[in-house]
Amino acid sequence: MSTGAVLYAGAIGLFLIGCYAMVAERHLIRNILGLVLVESGVNLLLVAVGFRENAAAPILKAGQSAGMMVDPLPQALVLTAIVIGFGVLALALALVVRVHQAYGTLDTREVARLMRVEREASGPGAAGPRAGAKS
Amino acid sequence: MSLLLRRRFFWEEIDLMSLLDILLLVAALLASGLFVLGRGSFAGWLATVVYGLMLAVLAIAGLALDSGVAFIPSAMSFEILGRNLGWRLDGLGWFFALLTVGAAFFASWYGSGEWGRKQKRMGLQHALLALNVLAMLLLLSSGDLLSLFIGWELVSWAAFAIMTQGGGPAVAAAYRYMIYALAGAMAVFAAIMLVQNVTGGLGFADLQTAISAMSTAQVWVLFILFAAGFGVKMALMPFHLWQAPAYSETPGASSAFLNAVSARMGLFALILVLVKLTGLEALGSLAIPFTFMSAKSALMWVAAITMVVPTFIALMQTDARMLLTWHGIGQGGYMLLGVLVGTSLGTAGGLMHVFNYATYQAALFLAVTAVIHRAGTSDLDELGGLITRMPWTYVTLLMGIIGLAGLPPMNGFVSKWMIYKSLLDGGQPLLLIMAFAATLGTILSVYKLIHNIFLGQLRREHQHLKEAPVSMVLPMLILAGIGFVTGFMPGLALNITDIAQRAIGGDMLPHHLGGVTLATGSLNMLWVVGVLIGAIGAGALIFYLLGNRRYEVHQFDNYAGGHFLSADIRYHFSHEFYPGLARVIGPWYRGSIVRAEQGIGILVNVAGDLWQAVFRVAYTPLYMLLVVVLGLVFTGSWGIVP
Amino acid sequence: MNTVPQIIFPVAIPLIAAFLLPIAGRCHAGFGRIFGRAAVLVTFLASALLAWQVAGAGPASSAMGGFKAPLGIVFYADNLAMAFVLLLNIGVWLFWPSGDEDRSGPYTLLLTLLGGGAGLVLSGDLFNIFVFYEIVAVASYGLAASGGSAAGFGASLRYLLLSALGSSLALMGIALVYAAAGTLNLADLALLAPDVLRGPPGAAAFLLLLIGFGVKAELFPVNSWVPEIYASAPVRVTSLLAGIVSKLALIVILRFLVLVFPMPSAYGLLLTLGILGVLAGELAAYRARDLNSTFAWSSIAQLGVIAIAFSIPGPAGIAAGIALALHHAVVKPAFFFIADKWRGDVKLLSGGARTSPLVAALFVLLSLSIIGIPPLPGFWAKYLLLDAAFSSSPAYWLAAAVVLAGAVVEGAYLFRAAGFFYGGPQKGRGAALFMPGELVPAFVLGAVLLVAMFAIAPLGAYITSMAVQAADVPAIAAQILLGGN
């Protein structure tokens, strides 16, 4: 099995595991972990796209031709994507904290139910500042 | 007429504004003016006077059109998105415009007096009436398919606005109307876009080009879209359910206006698009596969069914307004049938029926409104014996129902006779039988109408009712009078329909003041009415000469079986008026179309609930992946795994 | 060819301001708000200047840092992009939080959204588009939760998970494109696409990009976050997201479709999702019981209509899509402002016309326009759509029929609500509810609609020229590649 195939298999595997966690798990933290796995899988896929068997790192030195190197662009992209993923993850966790503060649970169905209850309760007459608004 | 023709008319001197421009401008000014200052009591009188002036302008326009001018142009035109929008009034539009403004004149007059003062927000009603007139004039003077559609939508929404004025059940009825009208409008929209797709233009000529260029299937689609879309407005079966409640719940004067002309806008559009532009030959050659029918005959049968079924539904109504509006649907069938026969007699008969119907239906509605105004109800089970209390209203209603039933000496007889005659000459015996059946139903139900309101026992609570005020009685009597005069001298009305018929094309119907002369049989109403009045006069003469043995008793002075009947004893049976007939035709009232309508509603509800239930955030990642997989299959992307 | 370095201003000014704003907010409590408004104003002026240049001298481009395309990062501005940048600016200005709170958080997020959104439509590079998309996404998660309610946090979190999964799929699509073509520059891709991106790999890449960016564009079936977010976010955020940000994502999808994936299967995919979106949105809106979710669902349907328009090959479809998008951007926020006054069951509207006749009239006006009643602008937008659809293949005829049937359902639920406004007894929620100040943006939008009614002819010509420019692939490719010279 070539390195490329391993990379692709790993990427797709991570992606699928992450998807499963996002769809099937009922715990918000697990969902977020699923998201992390999905992102890792996709990042790995990007790396795999630029991967070349037996090539050097993409640092141009004297006497070396560019053809012998791994494609550097996907790596740059992955770096960016990792940073974005990190930021989104941080935001997600911050939101999880707020949700847990408000509802006392992280079970997705329970949260959805409580949200529905809250929306219905705040329906009529809630045109002004919403209940529980913090400044 | 020929004397007039030799003169130069003054409208030929006016270059800046044509008569149509004046008409549209006046209507627009009136509508906006009434919205701004419609509160005062003078608003109604102002509107009435302006409608009168507009009638005068239309009369001049009529002279111009009669003298051979093809159409009256308008300076108003726009170029939008590469399409030209223009307006011009031809004879057909003029005919319907005359009826529109005429009906508005009487409705506005009626609404300006005592009746209007009792209404809430009458100023708004006047303004909305003016808006309706403006919208209808725009529709009737449209010069291409796009302006036709714009006018169509304006008419629909203006009618919707005036229908909601009743409040309560009126809003529900108007809402139902709005959904029907919107669906119809969307069908028309699709149809005109189909035409544009074929020819690249939206002129009336483009429609003719498109039909000759399209395949048979496309022409069928076009025909169905147009017929259904415009048919909704004139309540052709099976799109008729909205009309009776919507028109009934509209406040009286506006209701008379809507009843008289609003549904006729659908007829106008059908005549314009299917008869004038497409041509009846083209419709006749559009055969339905595996049958002996064509698009034309199918539409004729739809018209015939629309004529019969609503008439018998009307028979079962217990509310005077509902009874009349259901008849309105049926009468529309006569008009369309007459026009579709296609002979000069049929077309003239159909068009004259439009005119006649407008006169007697408006009169009838105004009379019923007068009854509601005094007695407080139009429930046929709770009225009776009003003939002595409201004699003039009774006379109007009597003349109206004679017209509605199509009996001499009223004008309804003439137009129905022409339609029967054209069916007979056109070799359509089955349709003729349908027409007779519908007329039978009409006669039965209008008898129920007049009997339950005016004849029989006077109710104690109505003992001190007074006749409606002059401001109400006069307009309706004049309308009934027009009905009688044009029945006595149908040539007057046929002069008007001539102008429309010339615009449609085809042969003209030779006629004279008293009626028509045909090779296969003639009608001269001067004779018919003369003999009728003569016979009645002779009978009266004999009655009075033989001693005039009558003496008056009070309405409450009644005996039965030798017993005095006090006013508390009900002996005037108005409830379940035709029990025997109801037993016979009752099983036919399956309400299958009502159920179809409910079914569509349920379908939309269930589908909506289903979407909402399935569409949860929690499931969405799953859908996302599902769509990706399905999409990959759809686009055949499986071969890309490296 | 037109090289304009100022093209960076609409992106850079708000982003820089967004970072400076918290500092400014620290200095003085009320200063943050003024600073933010000023930044939006400056951005608007810079964008307007750029739009003026672009309108006069034709499309412009600029390569960042002097690196030429395809290696460098290129921005590309044509009339279409500038129209939506201006729209975004106006939207942010109009929907700027009106409250007297001095939190700088929402202001920062709004400025970030402004910069990111401008970058989204101006970028000439696939990966850059992805980055700006993420910036917009993060800003909108924050804004959606800025109401401060617990339901807002929950909805925002669920939206985030969904959107991030979508972004991952989009990134996967980008990886596929790169694997096939070896470049991510849109112009380069436009030139290479006929050779390397036709057939299955291209279709798969487009599918992934469509689903990924479709989350924000409210495409079927990845739009289930819409009712939840729009019900719990502050009305101004809702207006901005529904009215404008969703359109930016659609514009990006349009660019992909026109430049990189102009093939039948891609058009077919967008068409299918659009039709399903219209059906799902209209039917669900019909069953919605409160105004807010009614408008949320109907927003899904209308974006489906825009997707259908964009899926029609050729400039006619693009023009129809732009017209529909602009119309929707004007009408939908106004609707949400009205809905915000009457939260909850539609029956609460009962008698509303008596206490606030102007609001009721505005509601009817907006309803008529969005159903497509002539002579209001909505009709002409729909007219353009049908015109384009009927001159395409029969699949689009079906789409046109669905759109028309959808309009009937739309009329049914909008006028059911209008019926509650005008009919029925008053339910006690009287004059206190109607505070004109809070509805100013809605009335402004209503006025814009009325003015537009009288300017259909010039607007139509302008939109058509915009579409022709956006459909001219060789010219765009040449401009992007030559930019930075």
Sign of CA dihedral A96, A97, A101, A107: positive
* Averaged pLDDT for residues B506-512: 81
- Alpha carbon distance C462, C470 (integer Å): 12
* B585 compared with C102, residue with greater pLDDT: B585
In this structure, which topology does domain A3-54+70-121 adopt according to CATH? Helix Hairpins (1.10.287)
- Chain C residues within an 8 Å CB radius of B631: 203-204, 207, 211, 269
Answer whether C107's CB lies under 8 Å from C21's CB. yes
**Pair of tokens at residue B156:** 């629909």
Helix (H, G, I), strand (E, B) or coil at B278: helix
Q: How far apart are CA C259 and CA B189, in angstroms?
A: 33
Name the more confident of B595 and C139: C139
Residues B212-251: tens digit of each pLDDT: 888 888 888 888 999 999 999 888 888 888 888 888 888 8
**Concatenated DSSP letters of B192-258:** HHHHHHHHS--BHHHHHHHHHHS-HHHHHHHHHHHHHHHHHHTT-TTS-TTHHHHHHHS-HHHHHHI
Task: Assess whether pLDDT exceeds 70 at residue C70.
Answer: no
Task: Please compute the mean of the pLDDT values over residues B144-166 and round it to a whole number.
Answer: 89
Contact list, B635 vs chain C (CB under 8 Å):
200, 203-204, 207, 265, 269
Among partner residues C207, C284, C407, which is closest to B628 by beta-carbon distance? C207
| Average pLDDT over every residue of B58-77 | 82
Q: What is the C-alpha to C-alpha distance for residues C130 and A76, in angstroms, rounded to an integer?
A: 14
Confidence band of C483 (pLDDT split at 50, 70, 90): low
Per-residue model confidence (pLDDT) at position C434: 53
- Give tens-digit pLDDT for C396-406: 888 999 999 99
Q: Contact A49/C134, CB-based, under 8 Å?
A: no
Neighbours of C11 (CB within 10 A): 25
pLDDT tens digit sequence for B262-285: 888 999 999 988 888 888 788 878
Distance (Å, rounded) from C-alpha B282 to C-alpha B299?
13
Q: Flag whether residue B186 sits within 8 Å of chain C, measured between CB atoms.
A: yes
Mind listing the pLDDT tens digit for each residue in C218-248?
Answer: 888 888 888 888 888 888 888 888 889 999 9
Using an 8 Å CB-CB cutoff, list chain A residues near C184.
73
Q: How far apart (Å, rounded) are the C-alpha atoms in residues B176 and B164?
A: 11
Residues 6+ apart with CB under 8 A from C181: C188, C189, C192, C193, C196, C197
Residue B80 pLDDT:
80
Please, are residues C86 and C48 in contact by the beta-carbon 8 Å criterion?
yes
Alpha-carbon gap, residue C34 to C57, rounded angstroms: 34
Position B2 scores a pLDDT of: 42
Task: Indicate whether C456 pLDDT > 90.
Answer: no
Cα B159 to Cα B258: distance, rounded to the nearest angstrom: 8
For residue B274 the two structure tokens come to: 């299917």
Q: For chain C, how many helices (H) and strands (E)?
A: 21, 2
Tell me the H-state helices in B455-524.
Answer: 470-488, 490-504
Q: Who among A28, A39, A125 is closest to C168 (CB)?
A: A39
Q: Judge: C149–A118 Cβ closer than 8 Å, yes or no.
A: yes
Asked whether the predicted pLDDT for residue C327 surpasses 90, the reply is yes
Report the alpha-carbon distance of residue C109 to residue C105 in Å, rounded: 6
The distance of C281 to chain A (nearest Cα, Å) reads 20
Residues 171-210 on C with a CB inside 8 Å of A are 171-172, 174-175, 178-179, 184
Q: Is the pLDDT confidence value at B88 over 70?
A: yes
Per-residue confidence band for C301, with pLDDT thresholds at 50, 70 and 90? very high
Q: Which chains touch C (3 or more CB pairs under 8 A)?
A: A, B
B185 touches B229 (CB < 8 A): yes
Which ipTM value was assigned to this complex? Answer: 0.89
The structure tokens listed for B412 are 């309804």
* Residue B638 confidence (pLDDT): 46
Q: Which residue has the higher pLDDT, C279 or B619?
A: C279
In chain C, residues 304-333 whose CB comes closer than 8 Å to chain A: none
Residue B147 has pLDDT above 80, yes or no: yes
Q: What is the DSSP string of B130-189?
A: HHHHHHHHHHHTB-BHHHHHHHHHHHHHHHHHHHGGG-THHHHHHHHHHHHHHHHHHHHH
Q: Beta-strand (E) ranges in A8-119?
A: none
Query: What are the DSSP E strand ranges found in B37-166?
Result: 71-80, 83-90
Query: What angle, 0 to 180 degrees and rounded to 10, lies between the N-to-C axes of helices B169-199 and B204-213?
Result: 60
pLDDT tens-digit series, residues C29-69:
677 778 888 888 999 999 998 888 888 888 888 877 666 66
Task: Mark A57-77 as b/e (b = at least 16 C-beta within 10 Å).
Answer: eeeeeeeeeeeebbbebbbeb
φ/ψ of B523, rounded to 5, equals: -135, 125
Contact residues, chain C, for A135 at CB < 8 Å: 101, 103, 148
Q: What is the pTM of this model?
A: 0.89
Show which of residues 17-56 on chain A sit within 8 Å of chain B, judged by CB atoms. 19, 22-23
Of A98, A122, A125, the CB nearest to C153: A98
Cβ contact A23–B642 (<8 Å):
no
pLDDT band with cut points at 50, 70 and 90 for residue A89:
very high
Cis amide linkage into residue C59, ω under 30° from 0? no
The residue among B119 and B12 whose pLDDT is bigger is B119
Helix (H, G, I), strand (E, B) or coil at B469: coil
User: Where do the domains of chain A lie?
Assistant: 3-54+70-121
The C-alpha atoms of residue B595 and residue B617 are separated, in whole angstroms, by: 36
More confident residue, B628 or C329: C329
Q: Decide if B642 and A112 are in contact by the 8 Å CB cutoff.
A: no
**How many angstroms from the chain centroid is the CA of residue C237?**
13
Mean of per-residue pLDDT scores for chain C: 84
- Distance to chain B for A83, nearest Cα, Å: 23
List CB contacts (< 8 A) between B617 and chain A. 112
Q: Percentage of residues in chain C with pLDDT exceeding 90? A: 22
Question: Amino acid identity, residue C107?
Answer: Y
Nearest to A46 by CA among C311, C169, B323, B47: C169
A35: contact with C, CB 8 A cutoff: yes
Please state, for a pLDDT cut of 70, what percent of chain C lies above it.
91
Residue C484 pLDDT greater than 50, yes or no: no
Q: Which of B69-83, B218-232, B348-362, B432-446 has the lowest mean pLDDT?
A: B69-83
| Phi/psi of residue B72, nearest 5 degrees | -100, 120
| pLDDT of res. C424 | 65
Write out the DSSP string of B548-562: -------TT-EEETT
d(CA B554, CA B556): 5
Lowest mean pLDDT of A33-42, B330-339, C470-479, name the range.
C470-479
B487 by DSSP, 3-state: which?
A: helix
B617 and A23: CB-CB below 8 Å? Answer: no
User: Mean pLDDT for chain B?
Assistant: 84
Residue B591 pLDDT > 80: no
